[in-house]
Structure 1
């Protein structure tokens, strides 16, 4: 009797011992063996799939909000005392809205090796500065020591559009779980982005000359759209699908090199500069895809993607939230050029500007502190069939508070004789004393870079949405 019961139980339970990629009931999901969206690399020259080609179209919308504040050097209770900066005063609310249409293609070259092209078309990029808790009633916060206004509120930049860059990427799956179920999927990739659009120039949409030339403020220029960079990206992602879920993690590093035909490139290699490149950005990603429903025979599935991203941005020069406002300023403290170099004076021990060196004009690009950013993203993918799939998602990013005008006056790592030191010297300016402590930084502007006058960006958040369609051949 007992043996009969055990035999019947075994017969009833046997169907539940099916493999993980087989349905457990008539209406249960059918698990596909394909990896998730984060580690998918199309390929070519497989036995049943000699060639793969994907065409992509993605619409992105991002909104950025931040608070601009400025250090104070006022010797008052609660502000600062004895030269120590202890408080930052409200300056402005910053808002930016960017709408982008990205077109691209992925081409399979060989097994687990693909070539990708991307071209994001910026349909509209609008930026503005408005009152922050009554800051417009305190214009002295935006004045230089001579009383000139650095800029005024409200401030609006022209709406920009065009192509910033195009990219070429190569991705290779060193290991592929689809080929060997015992191993994870490991993808490595390299990418180059080349700035191709008209170069970015600082502009004030409310001024008579909207985008003044730094060397000749009465002459206008195009607002531009491209940051004028050549970017290099290396990245790697590792994932392992386990039934309904696929956890993954990745690393990415971004290096940017300014192109010489931009305002950035013109001042990136001057003697004495401490920061002559944009920040290097290192990013760590961790997430998990959940695939709750699939129909393997119909090439259909529905996937949810949960992702956390952390990035570190090293110190560097960049286009900040005040790029347009400061770069288009008519304040004499910003419009007057800095000496490109110094030389010994006629007496042999003073240091005077070298008239043969090209003057350095302020263009709105500033030295910025290091900072971190953290993002949470949620996406969903619906593959409607063998040849079409759609992806939508939302993301929220928080950026750490940091100074956006922080250029040091002197570069101690570049030293010369007393004649080339300019103000970077100690001791008496006489034949009997004084020594060089470095070389003047031509990008330093005391009115915005000295402690007590520096600007910061605080409480920065970015909300972004995207919708993407892919046609697969």
Structure 2
């Protein structure tokens, strides 16, 4: 049962784990001589807050004395995600674990406010004189504000929530230090995120907190990972590497789904679902992600006979998020999927684990990540269908990507996220049976 408790505590991190090892390599096991079956249930609260400054590329007006392209400070973006994670893990066989997770998302809220350097009077968001197809709005004057059509209202909020995507996992321990003290603990595993949440439609108004929008991306995600740890006295260093492969599932959203209801939000709605611009080309393209983490679990207090333990967990984290068209920091405001450039996440985590009884463990942790600067509106102009080496906007308009928006996907008008940070707080209780 002691090993069961340790495994369950590990499951609260959302990672496969194993007995008497650092949380990152603990794993449920069954059919052992002294422990025929392991079952763990975890209830964890998770709150993530993301904050970023959003800049916009601009060409200085004639006579201003400035040349080249500048980045104008436009918005502060803030997002809060609060959820309850219900997790279960049990041993299928010796050192072979199956896990299941169901997230209940209480809130997935976003807010956009002007920075101190911007306002409704001077912002290019409110003083917009362009249509999505690149044409100029008749009679529009950005200097006086006459005839302007804002990209979106400011300030603005978005409210979403509901059942999240279910997770199913398998993990196996090739080596366990508990069984063979001469070897480290080595885990390999597969986590599958199923697209069970209702489809998120970015064009739906979600400004009413009493009518929260859906949160599903309808994308299968397969995460492959491996982790190592080795106990050395009161310290147990560990390592984990992971890579996630997204595969679009049924019912994915395409920006062309609003071609009939809101054609003014697309650069070339007439190209939707014609030629190469099918649902696959205009729909969500979730990014591949990968990363590594290094850490050490320190155990200054441990009394196995009384099932009492206190541990401190410190780790560094590095992730890579690839380029893709998905729901990013401006999707709810602009009402569509947006193409983001790739970026890195760098940060760390500090956590504590305490166990005062055989069947109960509590854990708390804080994770901080810095997201490197990246463009939020980087849609491709189109495809060179006739092979002449360029996209012919005027002579061959069928080559234009229907989801490309001339208002903000064109270089010198794009939005970028800078000074982006995320902080996550986790608190979980673990029960073993």
Name the TM-score class by shorter chain.
Answer: 0.7 to 0.9
> What's the TM-score, normalizing by structure 1?
0.74
Q: Deviation of residue 206 (structure 1)?
A: 5.1
The answer to whether the 8 Å contact 2:294/2:315 transfers is yes
Q: Distance in 2 between matches of 1:462 and 1:453?
A: 26
Q: How does 1:247-266 map to 2 (within 5 A)?
A: 247-264=237-254
Q: Distance in 2 between matches of 1:317 and 1:42?
A: 37
Deviations 1:409-468 (A, max 9, x none): 1235xx3478xx9x8239x96xxxxxx899432321111100111111111111111111
The answer to whether the 8 Å contact 1:155/1:204 transfers is no
Deviations 1:124-177 (A, max 9, x none): 1211111211422345411142232111211111x2221120010001111111
Deviations 1:308-346 (A, max 9, x none): 11011111111111111101xxxxxxxxxxxxxxxxxxx
Q: Distance in 2 between matches of 1:385 and 1:264?
A: 51
2:320 aligned residue: 312
Q: How does 1:24-423 map to 2 (within 5 A)?
A: 34-75=20-61, 81=67, 84-85=68-69, 87-142=70-125, 143-145=128-130, 146=137, 147-157=148-158, 159-202=159-202, 203-205=204-206, 223-264=213-254, 271=276, 273=281, 277-327=285-335, 364-412=336-384, 415-416=385-386
Q: Distance in 2 between matches of 1:53 and 1:264?
A: 41
Question: Higher RCO, 1 or 2 (CA under 8 Å, sep at least 6)?
Answer: 2
Q: Distance in 2 between matches of 1:264 and 1:186?
A: 41
The answer to whether the 8 Å contact 1:396/1:461 transfers is yes
SS of 1:451's partner is coil
1:344 aligned residue: none
SS of 2:407's partner is helix
Check 1:79–1:113 CA distance in 2 against 1; reply closer, same or farther (3 A cut).
farther
SS of 1:286's partner is strand
The answer to whether the 8 Å contact 2:160/2:206 transfers is no
2:5 aligned residue: none
Q: Distance in 2 between matches of 1:291 and 1:78?
A: 62
Q: Deviation of residue 262 (structure 1)?
A: 3.1
Deviations 1:9-44 (A, max 9, x none): xxxxxxxxxxxxxxxxxxxxxxxx811211000100
Check 1:271–1:384 CA distance in 2 against 1; reply closer, same or farther (3 A cut).
farther
1:424 aligned residue: 391
SS of 1:257's partner is strand
Q: Distance in 1 between matches of 2:296 and 2:254?
A: 39
The answer to whether the 8 Å contact 1:204/1:325 transfers is no
SS of 1:136's partner is coil
TM-align CA RMSD: 2.9
Structure 2 regions of 5+ residues with no counterpart?
Answer: 1-18, 131-136, 138-147, 258-271
Q: Distance in 2 between matches of 1:121 and 1:288?
A: 30
Select the structure of larger CA radius of gyration. 1
Structure 1 regions of 5+ residues with no counterpart?
Answer: 1-32, 211-220, 328-363, 430-435
